[in-house]
Amino acid sequence: MQQRNFFQYLIITLKGVAMGAADVVPGVSGGTIAFISGIYEELLSSISSVNFNTLKVLKNEGIKAAWEKINGNFLVALLLGIFISVISLSKIISYLLENQPILVWSFFFGLVLASILYVAKQITEWNFITVILLLIGAIGAFYITTLQPLVSEHSSPLFIFLAGALAICAMILPGISGAFILVLLGAYKPVLDAIHDKDFKLLATLAAGAIVGLLSFSKILNWLFKHYKNFTLSVLTGFILGSLNKIWPWKETLTWRTNSHGIKVPFNEQSVSPLNFNGEAHIFTAILLALFGFALILILEKLANSSFKK
């Protein structure tokens, strides 16, 4: 476990706030924010260290040794930021997405666009294989964003468990958000209904799937980073690139759904040119916000390379 002072942990909490804000937006992954803020590999390593060996350390060496093994201070600081963000910003971001979607998506588009350059810069050696893997990641992510969402009332325990596992995998991958995966699987409405109806049994099943998915998938990613870092970074770069289609600011709604409050909201959309957008395109303001999001990544990159990352 890295030794940090209070101010450095405060910075990690703020990064958690940014991750939580991104996860609230369906289409933006908190994993992208973790990557561009310089904590992605430490996050994977910390999560993957939670295993049966940790229980042995707890039994034989005590709580302090087990806490250090899982990098507990880091995880608590980060989770605190995510929790604060979800509780405090979710309503604000939801309101903005409903009333000013173009401006919100423009900001995130600029942010994610710059993150592609940031992730690509981490690749130390470019060759034929890295380029091919980047293209595979980009095509795969783009294809996922064009899939027709399923509409399902099916909410068997196994289905919800698997949905939770897949959604959390997407959440820690830079690119596609977990919420978007739930929409594609047709699990988004059952989960919303469970929250609205306080169906704690279904929510517990979802959480169990998420925990299993998180612990297993983080180990795979952690192993890939240790043994095939350049190849893994290439796929992730492509994945973020392909996911840009999902957060393109100008959309045409193809189908609608009714949310848990009985309000009709867009369900399936396709990207259109701002010149062909049916409504006020806000092109100038959108460009300014995209540039602001782009510039914000430069600031985060400096923070990641500063003394806060030791």
- Could you report the per-residue pLDDT of 113-130, keeping only the tens digit for each? 888 888 888 899 999 999
Q: What is the mean pLDDT of residues 183-205?
A: 78
pLDDT at residue 253 tops 80? no
How high is the pLDDT of residue 113? Answer: 87
How high is the pLDDT of residue 149? Answer: 67
What pLDDT band is residue 134 in, cutting at 50, 70 and 90? very high
How high is the pLDDT of residue 264? Answer: 64
How high is the pLDDT of residue 77? Answer: 93
Concatenated DSSP letters of 239-286: HHHHHGGGG-S-EEEEEEEE-TTS-EEEEEEEE--GGG-SS---HHHH
Nearest C-alpha neighbor of 301 from the set 29, 33, 49, 87? 33
How high is the pLDDT of residue 126? Answer: 92
Q: What is the mean pLDDT of residues 91-99?
A: 77
Tell me the residue type at 158: L
How high is the pLDDT of residue 137? Answer: 92
How high is the pLDDT of residue 208? Answer: 93
Give the 3-state secondary structure of residue 271: strand
H or E, element range at 215: helix 200-227
pLDDT at residue 281 tops 60? yes
* Range with the largest mean pLDDT of 164-173, 210-219, 247-256: 210-219
How high is the pLDDT of residue 52? Answer: 80
> Of the given ranges (64-68, 107-111, 237-241, 261-265), which has the lowest mean pLDDT?
261-265
Mean pLDDT of the chain: 82
User: Of all residues in the chain, what percent carry a pLDDT higher than 90?
Assistant: 19
pLDDT at residue 136 tops 90? yes
How many C-beta atoms surround the C-beta of residue 169 within 10 A?
A: 21
Contacts for 280-286: CB closer than 8 Å, 24+ residues apart: 281/102, 281/250, 282/102, 282/103, 282/106, 285/103, 285/106, 286/102, 286/103, 286/106, 286/249
How many C-beta atoms surround the C-beta of residue 90 within 10 A?
A: 15
> Of the given ranges (66-70, 206-210, 262-266, 294-298), which has the lowest mean pLDDT?
262-266
* Range with the largest mean pLDDT of 54-58, 133-137, 251-255, 295-299: 133-137
pTM for this entry: 0.75
Instruction: Give the number of residues written for the chain.
Output: 310
Beta pairing class for 251-258 and 264-271: antiparallel
**Token reading at 230:** 């350049």
pLDDT at residue 160 tops 50? yes
- Alpha carbons 261 and 233: distance in angstroms, whole number: 40
User: Of all residues in the chain, what percent carry a pLDDT higher than 70?
Assistant: 86
pLDDT at residue 223 tops 70? yes
